Each structure stands twice: as C-alpha cells, then as structure tokens.
Amino acid sequence: MNVALVVLDTLRYDTFEAEFDWLGGRRFSAAYAPSHWTIPVHASLYTGRYASEVGVHGKSRTFDWEGTTLAEALADAGYSTRLFSANGQIYRWDGWTRGFTEALGPASVPPLGQEHGLDWDRLLHRTAGGYRRYLRALWECLAGEYDTVGSLRRGYYLRQKPLWTATADEVRDRIQATSFGDDEFLVVNLMDAHAPYYPPAAYRTVDDPVRVLDTDVFSGAVGDPERIERAYHDAVRYLSDTYRTIHADLVEAFDYVITLSDHGELLGEHGLWNHGYGLFPELTHVPLVVDGEDVPEEVVDRPVSLLDVHRTVAGLTGVDVESRGQHLLDGIEPIDRLTEYHGLLPWHRERFRENGMSGAEYDRLNEPLAGFVAPTGYYGYETHDDGFRSVEAAPEGIDDPEAHLAEAVAEVPLRSIEGEDDTDVPPGVRERLEDLGYA
C-alpha cells in the first residue's frame, strides 16, 4: 500500500474551494486544524494527538516526544518513508525527520542531476547569510569527503533564488525524478501560498515578494492590503496549477493521496494578517481531501479534524497506532474537536519592543486560547479582546459553550515542558523566520 500525504501550507478554505475545484475524491467541507500554524499542526499529524499533549509547538519546537511517530511506525513495518519538504519548519528543528528513511529540506529538494553531498539545509540554517556561508561550504567540501563540484553547484543555484523555500515546480521535479516502489509513505509540504508571496513571473500581479510580519499587525504597521491580497491569490493560482501536475503524478504511484492545508491565512479579517495569532475560523477551517481508486467522489459535511489523518494513514497501511483520530474512510463518530493557540513566539517580544508596544501587551496576547468544533459544525473559540466568540448560535444540548469548552480542555493531558527562547535559534534560522514573517 502506497500513501502520499500532501500539505498545501497556508491555504485558506475559501481560496481552496475557488481554485481547486479540479481535485477529486472525498472532500471534507468542515475539516478543522488543531492549531493555527505549521509546527503544532504537523506534531498532530505525526502523532494523532494535540500539540499540548505532545509538548511540541512554538514554545517548544524540538520534536522530542517519547512516543512513536507515524513515520517511525511505518518504517518499523517495512515502509519506505520519505519527506520532501519545501518548509524548513518541519525539517531543521531537532527531531522532525524521525522515522523518515529519506528526508529532504528546501535546499535539497530541487534535483540537479548530480549528488551534491553537502547538506545545504543544515548549513543555511546554522550559518548567517552573506559570503561567510559560502566560504564555510567551500571549507567543509575541501575538509570532508563531499562532492565538491556538485555541492558548490547547488550552492550557486540556491544563491540565485529569491526566497528560502523550494517551489512547487522543484518539488514536482523531485517527485518525477524519484522511483517509488511498493509500501511507500510520502509526506510533501508545498510552501507557495505562504508569505512571502512570490509566484513565478507568469502569475504575478505584484512585482516584489510580499512579506507580512506577524507582529506588525498589532502595531498598525501593515499597509496596502489590496496588494497583499492580490499577491496571496497570485500564489494560490500558481499552486493550484502546479499541484494539478503533482497530483496526477502521485495518483500514478500511490494508492491514496491525502491533500490538506495545515492552517489558513488572515487577509485583513479581524484587523489581522498572516497566521501567527488566534483561533479565528479563517485559520482553523482548512481543506481536506482523500483520493484513491475506491474513494467515492463526494462532499462530507460532518466535522472532522486533521488529527484524523494520522488514524487514516495507519488504517490504510495496516499499522497499529494509538491516536485521538478517526478513520476518514471508515466511520466518523460525532465528537467534539479542539483547537489550540499556545501563545506568541518567543522572538515576538523583541519585535513588540521595536514597534513601540509594551511588554504587558505581549504578555496579554501570549496567554493560551482554545476552541471547539461540535458535531453539528458549531465552532466556538476564545479571544483575548472579545471573550468567547462563535460563528453561530450554540446547538441544542450545549447551554454554556464556554463551560463546555473548559470541560473538554481539562480532559486533555498536558505535557509539561521547559520552553525554548529566542536564544535557541541559530543565525540562519533567524533569517529564515524573518523571511517567512515569523520574526
């Protein structure tokens, strides 16, 4: 059994509906992410648990959970497990490649027709930018047993790129250059809908990469909203066109292809941008489609969670796992699904200070929040400014949604962790975080 899991990073549900009508399979119209950004959501995808249980999120980015990840369980069962990630967030922090027999980050995904030897993803994240990075690469090539010509050729190629991430075209080329066998599990992350928005020239209506810093939204420093929106939609159109080819290639080699977004994006709603803050439905309501030969073309309106992907992959491959999730192709029980916000990122405090905002404001917005999706589709969530909010009236049987949420949250065992601060971030990673709008 071959199963591919494709994450279309930062793709809003409404934009997905508008641009991905070509994608067939079982489409879930009420799928919710368990959190609002990449790291906690991928922790849930890999473990079938909430990020607070795993202890892996923005406050603790190292994936040091003691349980068995989905990739580890599949590798133990004899599967070839591969990760092709255009997103360094799920590649470079310690522990995120556990269980993958092949793991390629943004710098290694583009196939150049020659083995390069040197791990450019590691070098780019560890070393600050400029010529020092390439002098370091030359030194490592000469001092080690690397393919020096191939390594430096890749370094030159990467230096010409305007952004840190691999493009969907480069991931497509990697997939087409890979010979998949039997019993394959593939995880792909495509970053083209993520800021900075900058698709190929044929799709651009905005000249330069558009970046929106998480922290700027709180100080009123975000300008030209129409330009931001156009750039985002340009990027999504490119992603849709390229993923059509990628998906066609995957269905040739894989029995099932699961397509999802890990979170959405705020485009001015609630006066906010990006996806670094809050549990607003624009962030947590996400696309989710399961495609395969025996999967009917249908729309399922019953609420589901991305936690269910973990159980679904395990069920399709016959691997035994413990999970909060349910099998998306088997039977979906009517249960509540939680969403979690774990606070601001540690390096946001510095940005708040630079933008003239107080430490007290950072502390207020740093308080955790939670939300829940009822079996009826009702979504209620906490906010710092407006208290408990919902998109509709509470369903019958839930007289006090806030108390209902508190009871559900209390049932989730939290893993006590010692948080990582901004001093834990290598210089190259800091550059990348700034480029992506996180710092």
CA 356 to chain centre: 30
**pLDDT tens digits, residue range 29-80?**
999 999 999 999 999 999 999 999 999 988 888 999 999 999 999 999 999 9
In the predicted model, is pLDDT for residue 144 greater than 90? no
List, in sequence order, the alpha helices (H) in 65-126: 70-76, 120-126
Residue 423 has a pLDDT of 59
Alpha carbon distance 306, 286 (integer Å): 9
Alpha carbon distance 117, 148 (integer Å): 8
Contact indicator for 303, 374 with CB cutoff of 8 Å: yes
Share of the chain above pLDDT 90, in %: 68
Q: Global pTM? A: 0.92
Domain boundaries, the chain: 3-106+164-335, 116-163
Instruction: 236-239: list long-range contacts, CB under 8 Å, 24+ apart.
Output: 236/11, 236/15, 236/19, 236/192, 236/193, 237/19, 237/199, 237/203, 238/168, 238/192, 238/199, 238/200, 238/203, 239/8, 239/11, 239/19, 239/168, 239/190, 239/192, 239/193, 239/199
User: Quick one: tokens of 364?
Assistant: 């207020």
Contact indicator for 226, 267 with CB cutoff of 8 Å: no
In the predicted model, is pLDDT for residue 439 greater than 60? no
Burial label, 150 (beta-carbon count in 10 A; 0-12, 13-18, 19+):
middle
Alpha carbon distance 405, 369 (integer Å): 11
**pLDDT tens digits, residue range 256-314?**
999 999 999 999 999 999 999 999 999 999 999 999 989 999 999 999 999 999 999 99
> Got the DSSP string for 306-375?
THHHHHHHHHHHT-----S---TTT------EEEEE----TTHHHHHHHTT--HHHHHHHTS-EEEEE-T
Contact indicator for 118, 112 with CB cutoff of 8 Å: no
Return the DSSP state at 269.
G
Alpha carbon distance 199, 232 (integer Å): 9
**Domain 3-106+164-335 CATH (choose: 3.10.105.10, 3.40.720.10, 3.40.190.290, 3.20.20.140):** 3.40.720.10
